[in-house]
Amino acid sequence: MAGFVFPNEGVVEWDLLIVIYPYITGLVAGAFIVSSLYHVFGLTSLRPVARFSLLTALSFLIVTPMPLVIHLGRPERGLEMFLTPNLNSAMSAFGYIWFFYLLIVLGEVWLVFRPDIVRYAMATEGTRKTIYSILALGVDDISEESLAIDKKLIKILAFIGVPAAILLHGYVGFIFGAVKANPWWSTPLMPIIFLMSATVSGIALLLVLYVITTKIRHASLDHDCLRSLSLWLAGFLAINVVLEGLEVFSMLYESEESWEIISQLITQKIGLSYFGIQFISGALLPLLVLGGVEIIKPEAQQKTYATFLAATLVLIGVFAMRWNVVIGGQLMSKSLRGFISYTPPLFGLNGLLTASVLLTLPFLILTLITYLLPPWQPDIKQETVPRRRLR
């Protein structure tokens, strides 16, 4: 504790769990937008990851509410957010938006994978057959006619899904941006910044996962797809950096009463994670690497490594950004005269252990879903390349 803080401000109330909440939400939104780039905007180069990105979005979406509920003082009353919402609250909509979005993603996943599900249901025996039959809702209709309707519906859902994804995450930014009591949060740019960093983190996550899963499957990388991902990543990242810089620059330029404490915050309290991780290693360095790869055009192997490294740095950088917003904003006293400090505990409900479990959970779910519904094989209809063997 340094300077003066109000006596009630001794602890950071929104701790590590609230840092990973927007992080996970952002990954959902970003992954979904990648799948929509293919399904809605017809970016065929992203076809190899289109189905996988949908499953990624679903896996992370399932975990999204968990850090929030665990963090509540009274988790057993968490359902009240659904049942007795105060519609003026920026937070009360979360349950509804999340639920709406879950329905969209679930629907889209189901429709996209239905032909596979039906085929598995017919081809397998025993428990697996039961599972797939339940997933197919007991209907084995994969006639041309029904698939054509499915396709139309997929397009509609993906179309609704894009604004829903934007809403889901822009809204998370609004939760922070609408807190006028906190000068570090209170800016109308916040939803846009959250949205851009969400997209960035989602693309980076898919890039990383695509490279890793291809390695695990001993399959060959689709370099067109990788390049497309890295270009989109670089593009969104550039916009993101500009916006994040603009936010602080306008604070500096307007130089309001709160600027003095904010400048202390970003230079002293969160200097390393703000300039070091969020900006330099999380944004500028990846931009340089991604740009360099485009200009120098190294051989495939090195290109893959470089892109993979850049995407990993971006993922870390976006996490640092979430930390800097959520924790950084609470380190400053509302008296604008001092700081508290925060180190996450290792154990306990709000500790590092819980956080790492929550961050691992989506990957476990993703593994399970990709085991049940392998996303890698191309659609039967558009089969142009020979089917890859699954293990």
- Using CB under 8 A as the binding rule, whether residue 110 contacts another protein is answered as yes
Cβ proximity to another protein, 206 vs 327, nearer residue: 327
Does position 2 interact with another protein (CB under 8 A)? The reply is: no
Measured from the CB atom, the residue of 77 and 387 that comes closer to another protein is 77
Nearer to another protein, 178 or 280 (CB): 178
Find the binder of another protein among 76, 125, 254, 299 (CB under 8 A). 76
Give yes or no for a contact between 107 and 157, defined as CB atoms under 8 angstroms apart. Answer: yes
Nearest CB to another protein, comparing residues 3 and 351:
3
To 5 degrees, how large is the angle CA 10–CA 14–CA 15?
90
Is residue 285 within 8 A of residue 313, CB to CB? The reply is yes
Min. distance of Cβ 299 from another protein in angstroms?
47
Residue 389 near another protein by CB under 8 A: no
Q: Which is nearer to another protein, 131 or 231 (CB)?
A: 131
Distances (CA, A) of 185 to 51, 147, 173, 178, 258: 36, 47, 9, 8, 12
Residue 211 C-beta-side C-alpha neighbours within 13 Å: 23
* End-to-end Cα, the chain, rounded Å: 56
Residue from 59, 228, 333, 354 touching another protein (CB under 8 A): that is 333
Which of 33, 56, 35, 59 minimizes the C-alpha distance to 46? 35
In DSSP terms, which residues pair with 2 in a beta bridge?
Answer: 339
> Which 8-state DSSP code applies to residue 9?
G
257/299 with CB nearer another protein:
257
Q: Is the Cβ of residue 79 or residue 300 nearer to another protein in the bound state? A: 79
Q: Which of 35, 330, 354, 370 binds another protein (CB under 8 A)?
A: 330
- 160: which residues sit within 8 A by CB, 6+ positions away? 104
Token reading at 18: 């609230």
Choose, by CB under 8 A, the member of 42, 88, 126, 386 that binds another protein: 88
Q: Which residues sit opposite 338 in a β-bridge?
A: 3
Binding another protein (rule: CB under 8 A), the pick from 1, 41, 44, 72 is 72
Choose one: 54-62, 82-90, 201-209, 278-286; the region binding another protein (CB under 8 A).
82-90
Q: Would you count residue 81 as binding another protein (CB under 8 A)?
A: yes
Residue 6 or 253: which CB sits closer to another protein? 6
* Beta-bridge partner residues of 337: 4
Q: How far is the CB of 278 from another protein (least distance, A)?
A: 21
Site string for another protein, 152-181 (x = CB under 8 A): -x---------------------x--xxxx
Measured between alpha carbons, how far is 275 from 321 in angstroms, rounded to an integer? 10
In terms of DSSP H, where are the helices of the chain? Answer: 16-39, 47-63, 65-71, 80-83, 93-123, 126-135, 144-177, 190-217, 223-254, 259-264, 271, 285-296, 300-331, 352-372
Among positions 113-142, residues that touch another protein (CB under 8 A) are 114, 136-139, 141
* Shortest Å, Cβ 252 to another protein: 19
CB 123 to another protein: min, Å: 18
Q: How far is the CB of 185 from another protein (least distance, A)?
A: 8
Q: Choose one: 76-84, 125-133, 237-245, 247-255; the region binding another protein (CB under 8 A).
A: 76-84
Q: How far is the CB of 309 from another protein (least distance, A)?
A: 36
* Contact (CB, 8 A) for 94 and 171: yes
- Give the list of residues 6+ apart from residue 130 with CB closer than 8 angstroms, or none: none
* Alpha carbon distance 145, 361 (integer Å): 38
Counting contacts by CB under 8 A, is residue 349 touching another protein? Answer: no
Please give the Cα distance from 142 to 345 (Å, whole number): 52
Which residue ranges make up the site for another protein (CB under 8 A)?
A: 4-11, 13-14, 68, 71-74, 76-86, 88-92, 94, 103, 107, 110, 114, 136-139, 141, 146, 149, 153, 175, 178-182, 330, 333-337
